A and B are shown apart, each in its own frame.
Chain A
């Protein structure tokens, strides 16, 4: 379990902004990830339904060779980082119009932050 203090330390070390709502918690983020896991399996080779999210941070949208992305995701041509993921996960269909992921989004900002913190641990 990563404590609040550790999060601050990591964030400061990495030079990231700490959101005012409180520190991200990868344990809570892992719980939020339960909404994703049925399609985005943790096995890095799995493209069963959705592309793997192992190593997603820093990856360009639509970059994996072995997954058939929608044109919208490829054309979006963005790099998945904290801010793009946050905007995308808040309302996926609006952020990238025409993308195919059947998921309504995560309205709660703190939950998104926790999830993104967890995604960073997937390497």
Chain B
């Protein structure tokens, strides 16, 4: 029997990036905000030297990530198949603990392209309606890049992003990304120092006529103080970003920059070890009334009444909570009806390795977004007429890390074991890097999520069932961009160019690709095609807002965190207005 607690004004489910961005706005205005986070605060050995840098514990055993013995997902490649549980979460890493995924992220921080927000109408206009495959369910967001530009700018300032602008108010900037959507200002910090791999990549792509630029990074190139007075140290290039808490406090994260800003305010509470089980929904009244959660340390259940609820948990958790709570119409891939669970997308990653007899790459000097990039073949930056696919990828040489257990760059035909394998490891560790393609993932009619009929989590709730495989469109795209990466690899003058590895199906959940799962609670201009309105308000409950990458109708070629940040900050402003006068925005 759940104990009912005192009502709170705003309850945010999930203590990650979205919660931090919303709370930093509402709390100083005097609004009462409670954040429910299922994991622990970041004050244990994960954030203390020297244990912070333990690759086995945080990297291999994924210490900052959701535990599979409590909750996992089931997977099938198509809705006709029977799904089986993922016994290890290896392909993607749902965050667990304060800061969530934005605590253990790499820090690659992009703005989505203007066309991402109007994808269907853009493609129809440029290539004609008939050019879009009937099973490609991409759609417009119902908001435009222009609505979000100021929030992107604010997010970059709050997170101290290091980079070089490519387009300030329509004026192209030398050294930046020529395809960048316009921005109001230069990045708050200059780019990270160039890496050897970045310089090799830069020379090669310039030879081919492309325009390289440094990757926008949430790894601070200098010590930084953000507009809230919160501080970052300078990146030390230690190569322990993704899967780790930053030891130099140089990686922007909610636990470093957002929650401490309001931690001591009496109208703010961050309640940890609080796993939301259900959103209590009054269907007749079309309102949510509170959150039922379990204290994971005591096993006690509580009902937390709330006048306004924000779902800001992980993509997959947002979708699952709606399905478990009976809010909105579940998506049916056979009929195409319903919306909750629709348009699950991922990221289409591929690459090719290069090996140099005479150059030292020294990958132990790395950072999560320590890269040089070209954007010529991303999104709709090139003409897709006659190519048979849409979308693309940015191509980059990024030295995220050279951690000892997992860094195994070996040329083709290296034996898989024995002394020759050891010798090749020793020889090439310092002298190789990967040129990778970070590609779009466009929604497909049969890629979706629902509740599994067979498998349950530790609390007895059905697991989320994912139906996903790479659509033909994305496989063709990957083949195309990986060929471009191969051309660049050959132009680097490498001693050995590895075998290009375009993404191939079926989707293999045992191999890490990215934690860029998207969709399930998608945004859109009208109720039949979306779960949330352009203001992220649930069509089925006026006082419920949903944010994060779960609202993306399809995934861009860029990493999602910048876009999630901009959405969160815009929602914070919308909530200020909503709380003054509750209504459909």
Contacts and interface: CB of A to CB of B under 8 A. Distances in A.
A35 interface: yes
B63 interface: no
B325 to A, nearest CB: 39
A102 B232 contact: no
B248 A102 contact: yes
B247 A102 contact: yes
A38 B231 contact: yes
Contacts of B50: 70, 100
Nearest to B246: A102
Interface in A4-42: 34-39
Contacts of B47: 49
B249 A103 contact: no
B225 interface: yes
Interface residues of B, number: 17
Interface in A73-95: none
Interface string B526-538: 0000000000000
B233 interface: yes
A38 B232 contact: yes
Nearest to B237: A104
Interface residues of A, number: 13
Given A35-B233, A38-B231, A102-B238, A49 B223 contact: no
A102 B231 contact: no
Given A102-B238, A103-B248, A38 B49 contact: no
Interface in B206-250: 222-223, 225, 231-234, 236, 238, 247-250
Given A34-B225, A39-B249, A104 B233 contact: no
Nearest to A40: B233
Contacts of B222: 35
Nearest to A31: B223
Contacts, number: 36
Most chain A C-beta atoms within 10 Å of own C-beta, residue among B49, B222, B233: B233
Interface in B32-58: 47-50
Nearest to B260: A48
A38 B223 contact: yes
A100 B49 contact: yes
Contacts of A49: 47, 49, 249
Contacts of B238: 102
B236 A102 contact: yes
A8 to B, nearest CB: 30
A47 B408 CA distance: 38
Nearest to A32: B223
A100 B50 CA distance: 7
A34 B49 contact: no
Most chain A C-beta atoms within 10 Å of own C-beta, residue among B48, B232, B248: B248
A102 B49 contact: yes
Nearest to B47: A49
A48 to B, nearest CB: 9
Contacts of B231: 34, 37-38
B546 to A, nearest CB: 33
B21 to A, nearest CB: 20
Nearest to A49: B249
A113 B49 CA distance: 28
A70 B48 CA distance: 12
Contacts of B233: 35-36, 38-39, 103
A18 B236 CA distance: 32
A68 B233 CA distance: 20
A103 B236 contact: yes
Contacts of B223: 34-35, 37-38
Contacts of B248: 39, 102-103
Nearest to B49: A100
A100 B236 CA distance: 12
Nearest to B43: A48
A53 to B, nearest CB: 14
Contacts of A38: 223, 231-233, 249-250
B431 to A, nearest CB: 24
A104 B233 CA distance: 11
A102 B231 CA distance: 16
Contacts of A39: 233, 248-249
Contacts of A37: 223, 231
A103 B247 CA distance: 10
A2 B374 CA distance: 49
Interface string B278-319: 000000000000000000000000000000000000000000
Contacts of B249: 38-39, 49
A34 B232 CA distance: 9
A102 to B, nearest CB: 4
A35 B48 CA distance: 19
A104 B250 CA distance: 13
Contacts of A102: 49, 236, 238, 247-248
A85 B4 CA distance: 57
B420 to A, nearest CB: 34
A49 B236 CA distance: 15
Contacts of B250: 38
Contacts of B49: 49, 100, 102
Most chain B C-beta atoms within 10 Å of own C-beta, residue among A34, A38, A104: A38
A34 B224 CA distance: 8
Interface string B375-403: 00000000000000000000000000000
Nearest to A102: B248
A42 to B, nearest CB: 11
Nearest to B236: A102
A104 B236 contact: yes
Nearest to B247: A102
Contacts of B48: 68
Interface string B165-208: 00000000000000000000000000000000000000000000
Given A35-B223, A68-B48, A102-B49, 17 more contacts: A34-B223, A35-B222, A36-B233, A37-B223, A38-B249, A38-B250, A39-B233, A39-B248, A39-B249, A49-B249, A70-B50, A102-B236, A102-B248, A103-B233, A103-B236, A104-B234, A104-B236
The 8 closest A-B pairs by CB, nearest first: A38-B233, A102-B248, A35-B223, A38-B249, A38-B231, A102-B236, A102-B247, A100-B49
18 contacts: A34-B225, A34-B231, A35-B222, A35-B223, A35-B234, A36-B233, A37-B231, A38-B231, A38-B232, A38-B233, A39-B249, A49-B49, A49-B249, A102-B247, A102-B248, A103-B236, A103-B248, A104-B234
